[in-house]
Amino acid sequence: MHSGSPRLRRTAGRALRRTALLALVVLALPAMALDSVQWNGFALLRPETPASGRPLDDDSLSAQLQVGVDWRPSVALGGHLHLLARNESDGSRRGHVGVVEAFLEQNFRRGNDRIHLMEGAFFLPGSRENIDSLWESPYTITSSALNSWMGEEFRPIGIDASYTHRLHRSSIGGAVTLYRGNDTFGALPIDRGWALRDHWTLLGEHIPVNATHTIFTSVSAETDGRIGWAARARWNTDRASLQFTRIDNRADALRYGELFNWATRFNIAAADCTWKGWTAITEIGWGTTAIQPSSGRRSFPIRAGYVMVSRQIASWRASLRAEEYEERAADGQAVTAAVFWEPPRARLRTGIEAIATDVDKRLAVELRYRF
């Protein structure tokens, strides 16, 4: 076991300084070309019925403000800053206000080929559920257990390079991501349990993984000096897509103060199809994670997946999602039904969502104002 407190403070400090510097760069660049700046976001208010515990335990009344600032002086160059403020932090540290994403990006096109680069902190591209601006889902109020986990515990801080080749009626492509941080990725499903919510972790935030608040997880803390990687392959048409993603955080599985590294190797297979207002989506994730306490190395399986069907009719959208999730020897199931109403050119969206798991139920209503 490693205490690692001085080293942890130094590495966390460096990560925060780098993140702050990148955020300042993204904010400063628009000042040189204000006509290239666009911004969007939303404010939401969400009351919900109480739940007894995981995976549905959440605040009975939550409020959020999310803002995205995009700088795009040309089709080849851009930058993105994603800011978030919320009333709840679920016992985390530095979890109320901060930066979710901050990155620069470049696009290069030649004929049927396209190369896209991102540098900074970003959500890993590829979720078929969280496809809206600011990594939101247009289908339900609450993301699936799989994408709730990705939003809460995985945020690559590094470089993502993707290549796409356009065919006659489809395209194929692949991508590689090299990143730092995310050494604790894998702690939440095993120690705390799966959750169904939309708590996007802030850079620098520490989320408790147990009831005693003695061990935390962080997307931005770098403790072992190893470079993690992810790779994905994709085929898509105008109506359908298939994608496979592999994630390996290459953590050393040791403890550093209040952070415990988890060596996680995880796969995600995803597919979606749209037709005449109907959308069908599935994502299936499986893998293992391991830690090495004083009693010896321990490895655990992780599995989560869902199938969702959604229908858009004029100003209304209705969605139904069924999912399963598993950690250690325990598994669970959930069914989610959601209905939204959003008139054309309106800024206000209203919705209601009901979730039933094998142990509890939850009803939520949301009012969301877009700007």
pLDDT at 25: 52
Q: Is 368 among the domain residues?
A: no
Predicted confidence band of residue 90 (pLDDT cuts 50, 70, 90): confident
Task: Please give the average per-residue pLDDT across 127-153, as a whole number.
Answer: 97
Residue with token string 């072992």: 224
Domains in the chain: how many in total? Answer: 1
Predicted confidence band of residue 3 (pLDDT cuts 50, 70, 90): very low
Q: Is 371 among the domain residues?
A: no
Greater confidence (57 vs 322) lies with: 322
pLDDT at 88: 78
Tokens of 92: 């985390």
pLDDT at 34: 65
Whether the predicted pLDDT of 145 surpasses 60: yes
Q: Is 253 among the domain residues?
A: yes
Q: Is 355 among the domain residues?
A: no
CA–CA–CA angle 301, 303, 304 (5° rounding):
160
207-208 β-sheet, strand order = 207-208, 216-217, 259-260, 255-256
Q: What is the pLDDT of the chain when averaged over all its residues? A: 91
- 248: domain range? 5-304
pLDDT at 49: 95
Whether the predicted pLDDT of 82 surpasses 50: yes
pLDDT in tens, 163-198: 999 999 999 999 999 999 999 999 999 999 999 999
pLDDT at 53: 79
pLDDT in tens, 313-359: 999 999 999 999 997 766 899 999 999 999 988 899 999 999 999 98
pLDDT at 294: 84
pLDDT in tens, 220-256: 999 999 999 999 999 999 999 999 999 999 999 999 9
Q: Which residues of 181-204 are buried (b: 16+ CB within 10 A; e: fewer)?
A: bbbbbbbbbbbbbbbbbbbbbbbb
Task: Please give the average per-residue pLDDT across 79-99, as a whole number.
Answer: 90
Residues of the chain above pLDDT 90, percent: 81
Q: Is 207 among the domain residues?
A: yes
Please name the residues in contact with 297: beta carbons below 8 A apart, sequence gap of 6 or more.
Answer: 253, 290, 291
Q: Is 356 among the domain residues?
A: no
Task: Please give the average per-residue pLDDT across 76-100, as a whole number.
Answer: 91
Predicted confidence band of residue 28 (pLDDT cuts 50, 70, 90): low
Q: Is 144 among the domain residues?
A: yes
pLDDT at 35: 78
pLDDT at 15: 47
For residue 8, the SS3 value is helix
pLDDT at 11: 46
Please name the residues in contact with 262: beta carbons below 8 A apart, sequence gap of 6 or more.
Answer: 183, 184, 185, 186, 187, 190, 249, 251, 253, 289, 290, 291
Q: Is 25 among the domain residues?
A: yes
Q: Detail the DSSP E strand segments found in 249-360.
A: 255-256, 259-260, 263-275, 278-291, 298-313, 316-327, 330-341, 348-357
pLDDT at 296: 87
